[in-house]
């Protein structure tokens, strides 16, 4: 346990360093793809490969700990898999990827991040966090799962509106103007941040908190980069639209 919590401190420091770094260097995939980051692979295949550990490893951990799993752990597992089965095996085949390639270095780094993150979530929640028998009836759990669900809805709804926009207007990038796109440039990232804050609350664990911090570290700077990209690409981009938090940033 001491080793685990020692690593948690180290991983939080890495998240902070990543947060600062991403204000200066945009991760080179999607609309920000550029040369100089190694050979490219299929973006769709890369997405599946880098996200799949979140499904496979979590199921393995749950199977290894099956004799110790309480109902609360099974609910956590179900919530986790609902998100990541969609993210790993459905989303990549529905989204119209304008840039069909991604640097293999990005896929590999994301793959290893997810391996580390799954280990932290599984160990932290299945082994190192104690839950009361009535945890599933607690106000904290209900608040957490409500926040998680709202975040997941915003995330998925925002992504699928982009899919619909490209089907209606043709391939490439267009200015979205529905749902939360009217207020911010990256509502999918806003939703995902809310989602994992909800996860941290409903699991009430240091593992969940670390994932929420990492989500902010990765997506907050990228949302700002998206906002700047939209402003530079489209002369008629709405002036009052913010990047990641409606009416604020």
Instruction: Give residue 38's pLDDT.
Output: 78
Domain locations along the chain: 29-130, 138-249
CA dihedral 204, 206, 207, 210 (to 10 degrees): 110
Q: State which residues of the chain have pLDDT below 50.
A: none
Q: Exposed, middle or buried: residue 63 (CB in 10 Å: 0-12, 13-18, 19+)?
A: exposed
Instruction: Give residue 11's pLDDT.
Output: 97
Instruction: Give residue 102's pLDDT.
Output: 85
* Cβ atoms within 10 Å, residue 132: 10
Structure tokens at 162: 């982009």
CA dihedral 125, 216, 38, 104 (to 10 degrees): 40
Instruction: Give residue 101's pLDDT.
Output: 85
Q: Which residues face 40 on adjacent strands?
A: 103
Residue tagged 């880098």 (tokens): 50
Q: Which residues face 41 on adjacent strands?
A: 102
Asked if 41 and 107 touch (Cβ cutoff 8 Å), the reply is yes
The H or E element containing residue 84 is helix 71-85
Number of residues that make up the chain: 249
Structure tokens at 146: 């409500």
Q: The pTM is what?
A: 0.93
**By C-alpha distance, which of 14, 244, 209, 176 is closest to 109?**
14
């Amino acid at each position: 346990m001491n080793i685990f919590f020692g690593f948690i401190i180290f991983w939080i420091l890495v998240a902070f360093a990543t947060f600062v770094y991403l204000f200066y260097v945009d991760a080179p995939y999607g609309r920000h793809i550029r040369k100089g980051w190694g050979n490219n692979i299929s973006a769709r295949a890369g997405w599946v490969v880098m996200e799949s550990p979140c499904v496979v490893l979590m199921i393995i951990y749950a199977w290894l700990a099956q004799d110790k799993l309480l109902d609360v752990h099974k609910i956590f597992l179900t919530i986790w898999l609902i998100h990541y089965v969609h993210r790993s095996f459905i989303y990549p085949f529905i989204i119209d990827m304008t840039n069909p390639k991604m640097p293999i270095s990005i896929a590999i780094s994301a793959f290893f991040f997810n391996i580390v993150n799954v280990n932290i979530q599984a160990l932290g929640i299945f082994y190192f966090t104690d839950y009361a028998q009535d945890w599933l009836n607690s106000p904290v759990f209900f608040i957490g799962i409500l926040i998680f669900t709202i975040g997941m809805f915003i995330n998925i709804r925002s992504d699928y509106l982009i899919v619909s926009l490209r089907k209606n207007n043709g391939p490439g990038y267009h200015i979205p103007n529905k749902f939360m796109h009217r207020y911010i440039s990256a509502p999918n990232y806003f939703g995902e941040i809310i989602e994992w804050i909800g996860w941290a609350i409903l699991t009430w664990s240091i593992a969940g908190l670390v994932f929420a911090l990492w989500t902010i570290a990765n997506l907050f700077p990228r949302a700002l980069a998206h906002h700047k990209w939209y402003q530079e690409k489209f002369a008629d981009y709405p002036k009052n639209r913010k990047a990641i938090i409606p009416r604020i940033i």
